[in-house]
Amino acid sequence: MSTDLPSFFYNAEVKTWDVIIIGGGIIGLSLAIALRKRGATVLVVERGEPGREASHAAGGMLVDCGLETLSVLQPLATASARMYPEFAQELQFESGMHVDLRDHGTIVFPPPEHVHERPGFTLANLLPVPLAELEPALAEPNRPAFYLKERSVDPRALSTAAWKAAKRHGVDFSSGDEVTEIAVVDGRATGVTTAKTAFQAAKIVNCTGAWSGQIGPHPFPTRPVKGQMLCLLMPQRALLKHVIRTPDVYLIPRSDGRLLVGATVEEAGFDKRTDLATIQRFHRAAVDLVPELRNGKILEDWAGLRPGTPDALPILGATPTHGYYVATGHFRDGILLAPITAEVMAAVIDGHAPEYDLTPFSPERFD
Ligand SMILES: Cc1cc2nc3c(=O)[nH]c(=O)nc-3n(C[C@H](O)[C@H](O)[C@H](O)COP(=O)(O)OP(=O)(O)OC[C@H]3O[C@@H](n4cnc5c(N)ncnc54)[C@H](O)[C@@H]3O)c2cc1C
């Protein structure tokens, strides 16, 4: 376009949005849908293809139990777990996909110190029936175990469903385009610059997970925390029903007969390679727990990068730059926390008070 056109004419041709979301992981996608429902026009700018990073690598346990959740995060974790059936149902309806939300609960083999130090907890979570009846395929059915009424979901299906649902709601996408900079004029965010072009909006949200600290002007202290994972095909589709957690490994069955075995928690920078010794260790641990898995097939292994923060809490809210927001740092709980993050962040961006106190998650707590 010629630059000697009158400026009003030039601006009239530039498409703008109410909100630009950087990053199309489960957090960015869920937020895009929530903002569209409030009437905002939304563009998601994604470096690769939506839903292919941490949200693709995750196990999908929806863990909101007090023993494993930081107390300051508990209200959001509980609220999000409660929102899940409706969240999943809506995404399924809007995408025509099945996200495999399962409600069989979790069997936890706790570390010995928990059995001794927290007998009340164990008592409150007694197995509904003996372990041998709950999961006949488990070896050692007499070890101490407790039961959690917890759900799981397939994060890959969930992310693809959220992408489809967002498109159906009229969210625009720019995929394969990396944001390099936030445009700031007079202290106010006005858009984003990408490797290929630039986009304008009055409000920008950084949802780039482990990469959130790489875009200025605020160096959010997120870091990648690598998780390796193994996926098996069970010899019988319903060999295991429950999620199983031990101090060393967890097993997450899917309804189609896949079984996820995970995961490492490693400080390895932006390295997403798996190593054979770790994958073999997972396989041995799975077979030790469920001997029949010896007859299962190894389907694939992978690694993903969780968005970690110094205090292991998410970073949620407005930044000191007017119109620039952040929703990142969900670490090990981003699949669980997607529905509540979308709700509270959509409220904040829309200029309303969120239903929950977000002070502990303020981006300014690291200043
Ligand atoms: C092995 C493993 C197991 C896990 N298990 C669970 C679990 O059981 N339960 C649970 O709740 N959570 C789990 N998690 C955590 C969960 O996966 C994450 O917290 C969640 O996916 C974070 O979502 P996100 O959208 O913030 O990040 P991501 O899914 O990583 O998305 C960020 C997106 O931003 C894009 N991006 C980055 N930089 C730019 C840029 N400059 N411009 C444009 N786009 C950019 C990326 O390409 C990516 O698509 C697990 C994670 C791993 C790795």
Kindly give the number of the ligand 1 atom that is closest to the alpha carbon of 194: 42
Strand 223-233 with 297-308, pairing: antiparallel
Walk along the chain (367 residues) in steps of 10 and give the mean pLDDT of each run: 40 82 98 98 98 98 91 97 98 98 94 62 75 93 88 98 98 97 97 96 98 95 98 98 96 98 98 98 98 98 98 98 98 98 98 97 94
Query: Reduced to 3 states, what is the DSSP secondary structure of residue 336?
Result: helix
pLDDT at 367: 83
Burial class (CB in 10 A: 0-12, 13-18, 19+), 219: exposed
Ligand 1 atom closest to residue 48's alpha carbon, by position in its atom list: 47
Sheet holding 243-245, edge to edge: 146-148, 106-108, 243-245, 250-253, 258-262, 223-233, 297-308
Query: Could you identify the atom of ligand 1 that is nearest to the CA of residue 61?
Result: 8
Sign of CA dihedral 339, 356, 21, 224: negative
What is the Å distance from ligand 1's center to 302 Cα?
Answer: 14
In this structure, the residues whose C-beta lies within 6 A of any atom of ligand 1 are 22-28, 45-48, 52-55, 57-61, 178-179, 207-211, 215, 227, 229, 262-263, 304, 306-307, 328, 330-336
Whether the model pTM is above 0.85: yes
Per-residue DSSP letters for 73-94? GHHHHHHHHHHHHHHHHHHHHH
CA distance 219 to 34: 26
Residue nearest to atom 51 of ligand 1 (CA): 58
Q: Give residue 175's pLDDT.
A: 97
Nearest CA to ligand 1 atom 33: 23
**Residue of 48, 51, 21, 22 lying closest to 176 (CA atoms):** 48
CB 148 within 8 A of CB 125: yes
Residue ID of nearest Cα to ligand 1 atom 26? 209
H runs (alpha helix) in 14-71 = 26-37, 54-57
Which residue in the block uniquely carries the two structure tokens 């530039």? 14
Residue 216: its pLDDT value, please?
85
Alpha carbon of 208 to those of 89, 182, 346: distances in Å? 26, 13, 17
* pLDDT for the residue numbered 67: 80
